[in-house]
């Protein structure tokens, strides 16, 4: 602890373990065919545990797959430029172009930055229309490579996840499983699926507990660190090892809260964001911490991404969605389990708050998070790399500001480094902090 530090801080004990976890999963996915295993690629927006009924397979979440490419800006740029040479325009989704580009090059990049041959063609893929473009991403990807696919429709989500919606989602997931059985020529084993789905729900519930702990002052975690710890839930939520890891993480975070260990030793201003970060420019988090003692305590994105939430009494505080197993929802057959999973995941989970039909609750969610996580301010990412997420961001900013919490939008891109102007971004942050009387620590 330096002489002027306000709080004690320590590195996360599980840091190396989570890095190893990610590397192991990406390696398993890329080696799957060599090892005689099936590959599934699925949008994490709807449970990837739906494929756990297929024995001897490796399942990859498409969003962490894309984010890993975007993080490595040179490789990501190559991927996007190849797409643009083929006529795909600049303003199209960054994640899609990262993955399409990898497919066109037939190369990919591992979490340690090693470029490998083969983009990771799956045996079956599915996507989820949080926004219509999310399915288009997969349609183009799969049509180019001749991969069988199933594209889900999501007309609405929480708070409109009524019986009709759950029936509709359940029907689609049941059909997907049948299509998948035919495509891969392998039977779906219900017992494996039921176990995988329960593990996912338990691991997601654990993430909500970790996020609630981050309401403490000082915050035990900052958002940049959380981005590494979401990986297990996004890549193998069905694995009992993931649940065990999440429990260990919860205990470590609880211990930090009990001992007053801060993520940012000089925490003096707590901030929320709202969307996927500009992956190629994560150093901006370190700028906020070092210059202003500003800690990003969370966002609708990172809090909901691998947890499930609802409003208490439909209008009160944001609280974890109860686990179906705890409220007596049966999960003994395939259909019952699909139904329970669809119910649980159609709350504020993954990116459902950004669903167009739910736009009106996104700003309520953002405001609740700002208040419950004790934010002094908001810096919302106008992510032009994902039009779905950018939609509603201005309303969220207005809702937070109207409640007396200073809040700005800053423009960036989750994948395309050409849209990230670090100099202007930092200048905007400097003005924001100066206007709010936040002392600059380095001057």
Residues that bind ligand SF4 (CB under 6 A): 93, 95-96, 130-131, 133-134, 137, 386-388
Q: Which is nearer to ligand SF4, 76 or 406 (CB)?
A: 76
377 class by beta-carbon count within 10 Å (0-12 exposed, 13-18 middle, 19+ buried): buried
Q: Determine contact, residues 337/197, Cβ cutoff 8 Å.
A: yes
CB of 64 to ligand SF4, least distance (A): 12
Torsion of CA 127, 133, 139, 141, to 10 degrees: -90
Dihedral sign, Cα of residue 344, residue 349, residue 351, residue 355: positive
3-state helix, strand, coil in the chain (%, to 5): 55, 15, 35
Nearer Cβ to ligand SF4, position 9 or 355?
A: 355
Q: Which is nearer to ligand SF4, 31 or 387 (CB)?
A: 387
Residue closer to ligand SF4 by CB (options 51, 137) is 137
Sequence-ordered list of residues with C-beta below 8 angstroms from that of 232, at least 6 positions apart, any chain:
18, 21, 203, 239, 242, 245, 246
**Residue number with the shortest CB distance to ligand SF4?**
93
Q: In this complex, which beta carbon is closest to ligand SF4, that of residue 128 or of residue 188?
A: 128
Q: How far is the CB of 130 from ligand SF4 (least distance, A)?
A: 6
Q: Going along 285-373, which residue ranges are E strands? A: 294-298, 308-311, 318-320, 348-349
Shortest Cβ 386–ligand SF4 spacing (Å): 3
Least spacing, CB of residue 390 vs ligand SF4, in Å: 9
Among residues 209 and 387, whose Cβ is nearest to ligand SF4?
A: 387
Q: Which is nearer to ligand SF4, 63 or 267 (CB)?
A: 63
Instruction: Write the burial class of residue 291 (CB in 10 Å: 0-12 exposed, 13-18 middle, 19+ buried).
Output: middle
Q: How far is the CB of 433 from ligand SF4 (least distance, A)?
A: 30
The CB-of-244 to ligand SF4 minimum distance in angstroms stands at 30
How far apart CA 269 and CA 289 sit, in angstroms, is 9
Residue 354 tokens read as 């950004």
- Smallest gap from residue 62 Cβ to ligand SF4 (A): 9
Going from the C-alpha of 24 to that of each of 30, 69, 70, 160, 232, the distances in angstroms are 10, 17, 19, 38, 11
Per the DSSP assignment, residues forming a β-bridge with 127 are 151
Q: Nearer to ligand SF4 by C-beta: 239 or 419? A: 419
The minimum distance between CB 387 and ligand SF4, in angstroms, equals 5
């Amino acid at each position: 602890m330096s002489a002027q530090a306000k709080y004690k801080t320590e590195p996360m004990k599980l840091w190396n373990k989570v890095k190893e976890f990610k590397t192991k999963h990406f390696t398993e996915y890329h080696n799957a065919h060599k090892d005689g295993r099936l590959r599934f690629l699925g949008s994490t927006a709807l449970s990837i545990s739906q494929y756990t009924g297929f024995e001897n397979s490796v399942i990859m979440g498409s969003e962490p797959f894309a984010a890993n490419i975007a993080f490595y800006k040179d490789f990501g740029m190559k991927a996007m430029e190849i797409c643009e040479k083929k006529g795909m325009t600049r303003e199209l989704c960054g994640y899609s172009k990262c993955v399409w580009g990898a497919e066109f090059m037939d190369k990919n990049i591992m979490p340690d930055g090693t470029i490998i041959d083969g983009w990771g063609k799956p045996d079956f893929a599915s996507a989820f229309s949080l926004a219509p473009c999310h399915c288009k991403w997969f349609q183009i990807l799969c049509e180019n490579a001749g991969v069988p696919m199933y594209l889900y429709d999501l007309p609405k989500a929480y708070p409109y996840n009524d019986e009709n919606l759950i029936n509709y989602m359940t029907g689609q997931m049941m059909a997907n499983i049948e299509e998948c059985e035919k495509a891969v020529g392998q039977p779906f084993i219900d017992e494996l699926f039921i176990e995988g789905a329960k593990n996912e729900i338990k691991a997601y519930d654990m993430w909500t507990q970790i996020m609630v702990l981050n309401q403490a002052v000082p915050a035990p975690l900052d958002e940049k660190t959380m981005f590494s710890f979401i990986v297990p839930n996004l890549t193998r939520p069905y694995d009992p090892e993931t649940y065990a890891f999440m429990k260990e993480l919860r205990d470590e975070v609880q211990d930090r809260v009990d001992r007053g260990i801060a993520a940012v030793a000089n925490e003096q201003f707590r901030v929320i964001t709202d969307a996927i970060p500009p992956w190629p420019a994560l150093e901006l988090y370190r700028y906020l911490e070092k210059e202003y003692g500003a800690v990003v305590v969370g966002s609708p994105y990172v809090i909901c991404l691998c947890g499930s939430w609802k409003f208490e009494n439909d209008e009160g505080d944001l609280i974890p969605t109860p686990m179906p197993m705890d409220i007596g929802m049966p999960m003994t057959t395939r259909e019952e389990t699909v139904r329970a999973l669809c119910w649980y995941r159609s709350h504020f989970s993954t990116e459902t708050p950004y669903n167009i039909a739910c736009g009106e609750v996104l700003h309520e969610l953002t405001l609740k998070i700002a208040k419950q996580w004790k934010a002094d301010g908001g810096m919302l990412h106008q992510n032009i790399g994902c039009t779905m997420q950018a939609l509603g961001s201005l309303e969220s900013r207005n809702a937070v500001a109207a409640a007396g919490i200073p809040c700005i939008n800053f423009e960036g891109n989750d994948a395309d480094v050409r849209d990230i102007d670090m100099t202007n971004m930092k200048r905007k942050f400097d003005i924001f902090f100066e206007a709010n009387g936040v002392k600059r620590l380095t001057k």
